[in-house]
Chain A
Amino acid sequence: MTSRLTLTINNRTQQHLVADGTLLVDFLRDQMGLTGTKQGCDGGECGACTVLVDGKPRLSCVTLAHSVAGQSVETIESVAENGRLSRLQAMFHERLGTQCGFCTPGMIMAAEGLLRANPNPDQAQIKTALSGNLCRCTGYVKIIESVEAATNHG
């Protein structure tokens, strides 16, 4: 069955007809064309599909689109400010926190969720916040350094 879904995507409230069983990641990528959000393991294990729902990180591959009705979804496309990389994105670029780039949108959204809740996380808190996000390139050290550099004390 297809039903009406009202939600806010990247600060714009909108309404769409969405099949009941549609995953949030498929809705974002295929119906909204927001392909920045990646589909990795497809089972909630890798974190590549992380988006923010009401400011908190959620995995869009194990979330039904209709489960976030009335809520605010933010994807990697919303992070840049006025066409310029956000501080967090810039730090991933400068500190080599991204290599192949597939995990990066998920890493950045998970880190963004952390920094909003706690602008001054220590390294242990960063590691915990990113513990559900897998990266097969960097070895994680550069990613953690990138997030650290984006904190107030970084």
Chain B
Amino acid sequence: MSAPLEFTLLHPANLTEAVKQMQAHPNARLLAGGTDLVPNLRRGIGAPDTVIALGGIDTLNSITETASHVEIGAGVTLAGLLASNLPTRFPALQAAAEIASPSIRQAATIGGNLCLDTRCRFYNQSQWWRKANQFCLKLDGDTCHVAPKGKRCHATFSGDLAPALLVLGAEIRVENAQGGRWQPLAQLYNEDGLDHLTLAKGDLLVAVRFPTSETRRSGYLKSRVRRAGDFPLAGVAVALTRTGDKITDLRVAATGTNSAPLLFDDFADVIGQPLSDAALTQINKRIGQAIKPMRTTNQPGLYRRQMVAALSKRLISTLYEQGAN
């Protein structure tokens, strides 16, 4: 038998109660599907006194649609999202089908995937493994083994839904004791493996939304070692509009390369042009300058860099060849 985790589990019945409990227990961890948190806790990554289970808050579990926005509650499971008609209408959301395995998707949530802890091969290890390696900057140590001379943690953001939602122009709803706010999804993230979320203590991500009028062609491609149950070595989401034979709008987002997912929407030199090899090279040059895959996985950073270029080229070409919107 494995030793039970030592914490007190709270079960708020609604958002108000959850926010109050988060204020009363500022160091509490939030539990949604638990598929990221529980294995981490079992490996001694964090030892909270209190865990707040969000599963009982019904308002987090719905998908609603108005004339202006599609809104997905943070507690909607990946299986729930896939069972809706959204991935058919907004194909980038098929990213959800590429996450983990079917049994995990029954529990894992949208909010959990967006707030996924950053990952590194020196961090996602057991307590004794990390101890034998003198721990690391992200937890209990003072050196980043990925870049020992650097001053920051390079653990990688590996969520698959964030790039998909970024290219769909998503915003998130954050609630705390003072009230709530909508903010662009991109503002949720920091380029710092140690502190990659901008949420303050007491902030709770409750929903994500994007415009119902979203008509760009979109998709998501992912490179990984194992076909199921694996995090991305690199993931690329694209949304584009083709008018006639010209690209009139293009957004690309990447995951698995940096401590935050990255959104690229400034392709001025490609907009208004037909897609060509030169345009693809231009696009990948722009992305290549920003991504920084480091030695956070067993596969070399260069391989992941090449995968980003290959995936974005393949996906942009495929979507372009589907014809004008």
Partners in one complex: yes
For residues 194 through 221 of chain B, which have their beta carbon under 8 Å from a beta carbon of chain A?
none
Q: How far is the CA of A63 from the CA of B106 in the complex (A)?
A: 11
Number of B residues with CB within 8 Å of any CB on chain A: 30
Q: Please determine whether B38 and A23 come into contact, CB atoms closer than 8 angstroms.
A: yes
Q: Please determine whether B106 and A44 come into contact, CB atoms closer than 8 angstroms.
A: no
Q: How far is the CA of A63 from the CA of B108 in the complex (A)?
A: 10
Residues of B within 8 A of A39 (CB): 2
Q: Please determine whether A128 and B102 come into contact, CB atoms closer than 8 angstroms.
A: yes
Q: Please determine whether B1 and A29 come into contact, CB atoms closer than 8 angstroms.
A: yes
Q: Is A19 an interface residue (CB 8 A)?
A: yes
Q: Is B179 an interface residue (CB 8 A)?
A: no
With contacts A22-B4, A64-B9 taken as known, whether A43 is within 8 angstroms of B103 at the C-beta atoms is no
Q: Is B280 an interface residue (CB 8 A)?
A: no
Number of A residues with CB within 8 Å of any CB on chain B: 34
Cross-interface CB contact of A43 among B39, B106, B107, cutoff 8 Å: B39
Q: How far is the CA of A16 from the CA of B206 in the complex (A)?
A: 32
Residues of A within 8 A of B271 (CB): none
Q: Is B6 an interface residue (CB 8 A)?
A: yes
Q: Please determine whether A23 and B9 come into contact, CB atoms closer than 8 angstroms.
A: no
What are the interface flags for A100-130 relative to B under an 8 Å C-beta threshold, 1 for contact and 0 otherwise?
0000000000100100000000000000110
Q: Is B42 an interface residue (CB 8 A)?
A: yes
Q: Is B20 an interface residue (CB 8 A)?
A: no
Residues of A within 8 A of B38 (CB): 23, 44, 62-64
Q: Enumerate chain A interface residues (CB-CB to B < 8 A).
A: 1, 3, 19-23, 26, 29-30, 39, 42-45, 47, 50, 53, 56-59, 62-64, 66-67, 110, 113, 128-129, 131-133
